[in-house]
Each structure stands twice: as structure tokens, then as C-alpha cells.
Amino acid sequence: MYFELSEEQKMIRQAARDFAQTELKPGVIERDEHQKFPAEQIKKLGELGFLGMMVSPQYGGSGMDAISYVLVMEELSKIDASASVVVSVNNSLVCYGLEKYGSEEQKQKYLIPLAKGEKIGAFCLSEPEAGSDATSQRTTAIDMGDHYLLNGTKNWITNGSSASTYLVMAQTDASKGSHGINALIVEKGIEGFTIGAKENKMGIRGSDTHSLMFNDVKVPKENRIGEDGFGFKFAMSTLEGGRIGIAAQALGIASGALELAVQYAKERTAFGKTLANLQAIQFKLADMATDIEAARLLCLRAAWLKDNGKPYGQASAMAKLFASETAMKTTIEAVQVHGGYGFVKEYHVERLMRDAKITQIYEGTSEIQKFVISREVLK
């Protein structure tokens, strides 16, 4: 296998790295402290083409590959996972779903401004009583002829208040089970659509996570994505790509923590020598680096499969499972390397540790990833 990145991919990675250092790092602790959405930074990411990376230039995107997407997600997540999750959702859930399955009219109206970064999207699947169980949608979309009447509540929605375009999964015919679910495009500001209070989260606190309420919202039939009953397949297909983005986010959190641990180990002295010269610290760093490299290869493999039109569902689940567990383990160890300073906000590692936990939960918990993987293994 050939592991060398192209010159273009290296340039894209460097651009993301420079942006993270110059635009995201200043103020990242304050944004975390005050749960402040990085609106200015997200606007600049859109101007750089990072909010529609894999969308065809025909629809306002940058036309990049999934490998470049992984590289960008890793670099941004080293510094600010609250910003990178916006990039992840807009790219791999919203833009991908619209480009692959949307009608030409939907692409012209919704995809182009999303891909250009002029607007932000949200993917609305989770519910109070149907988180990982996507077949048990309580939100309903009753067919009224020329429109659907949408009622229900969605939980844990990333970009909940900052988005303008929402892809909402809803049950139209419960008797059909998963075949009775539809995916609808809902615009912000439509009558009957309200946004709940912002969740006060442990990590990725700059990301705006909200509940959404729909009360007799009239959604035009032309806003349905695909044929009647296609919503479940739409959600499952889209989530496969979403797992690559979250895996890359977890990878970035882990590699950012390692970089900080290495820097600190080289500077801090104890017992007459730097921490980097203590074997116990060396062994920690070696384990961290090995796990991160394995996670990176899993992420790049899943992205390569996607780029080459090959099945990537199992690969993306493996990448998400291993990278998220690596992020959790690595950030805990990075705090340990820092000792008491690791518990202090200004050293960044405690925030990375808090951010790491969510990567084991969203886009399906670790248990869900194991189910996806084992299903393929047992075939």
C-alpha cells in the first residue's frame, strides 16, 4: 500500500493547521468557558472552502476527497473540537446527504449555500426516546397531500440554533417500520418550529447543541429527500460517512493531547532531569503515539475506501470505535503527564479530555459501532 500524501493533500493539511493555530487557538479557552459558538471562525472556514469540502464545484463545493477531509478534521480538532464538529456535520451529514440523494432543485436551493459556507446545516435524527434506535422515531410527518404536517421533538442537535437548514427524520407510516420514515428539509423560521435552550455540556462547549420542537409544521412535499419511505436508508447511509468525520475528530483530539504532552515533558524538570528522560513518561508517550498512528491509519483507510467507491461502513465504524477510545485514553494520559498542571485550564489538556468523551457517544455509541462491525464479521 502507498501511504504518501499528494502535494495537494499536504497543502490542505498545512492550511488547516495554520488556521487552527492562528484563528482557533486564540480565545478557545474563553469560548469553552462561556459556551460561545465560534461564529467568526466558522465563517472564515466557509470562506476557505472547508464547510463543503467534498461537494462538487458544480454545487459550490471544493471538490476535495475524503482523505483531505480527514486531514483537515484532525488539524482543527487538535485545537478546537467545538469548531471541527460544525465542519463535520455540515460536510459529512448535511452536504453529503443532499448531494447524493437530493433532487436538482434541492441542490440548487439548499446545497449550494451550505457548501459555500453561507449557511450552516443540522442533521436531526436523535430523539428523547430514540437516540441510537433510529427505527423508533416518535416525530411524525403526516401526509396531507401537498405537504407534510411535522410534529415532535429532536434532541442533541449540533448546530441547533446556528443552522438555517435542518434535515429531519420523521415517521410517516408507523405500520411500515423503518420503511415508513422520511427525511425532510426544514427551514429555520418556519411557523411552528422552535429551538429549545442550549445544552450545558461537559465538552465541546462552544458547539451549540439544542432540542428542536415541531408543532404542526407544514413542510412542502418537494422538501422530502428521495422517495416516500426512504428516510431510514438515507440516515444510515449518511451516518456511515459521518463516522469518518467523528473518527477524525477523535484522532485530532488525541494527537493534540500527545503534542502537548511531548512539549511539556521536554520542558518540565523533576528529580534533576526533564520528564522526557524518565522511562515511565517515555513509555506513556510511546503507547499514546502507537495508538494514535493506528487510529490514523484506520481513518485514512475508511476515507480511501469512500473515495474509491468501495463499501466503507465497517471501516468507518472501526475507525470511529478505535479513534474515540484512543482519544479518551490519550487525553487522560496527557493530563497525567502534566500532573497538577493538567488539571488547569490554561494547559488545554483538561479541555481535550472533556471533549474526547463525546466522540464515544455521538454518531452512535461504541456499542453501536461494535454491532455494525460484528454484523459484517458474521456475514
What residues act catalytically? 363
Cβ(184)–Cβ(144) below 8 Å: no
Tally the C-alpha atoms within 13 A of residue 294's C-alpha that lie toward its C-beta.
15
CA distance 90 to 49: 12
CA distance 330 to 291: 8
Provide the grid cell at 80. 478546537
Tally the C-alpha atoms within 13 A of residue 184's C-alpha that lie toward its C-beta.
27
Q: Report the DSSP pairing between strands 193-198 and 140-143.
A: unpaired
CA distance 171 to 110: 23
81-88 and 66-79 are packed helices; what angle lies between their axes, rounded to 10 degrees? 160
CA distance 362 to 242: 10
CA distance 232 to 219: 18
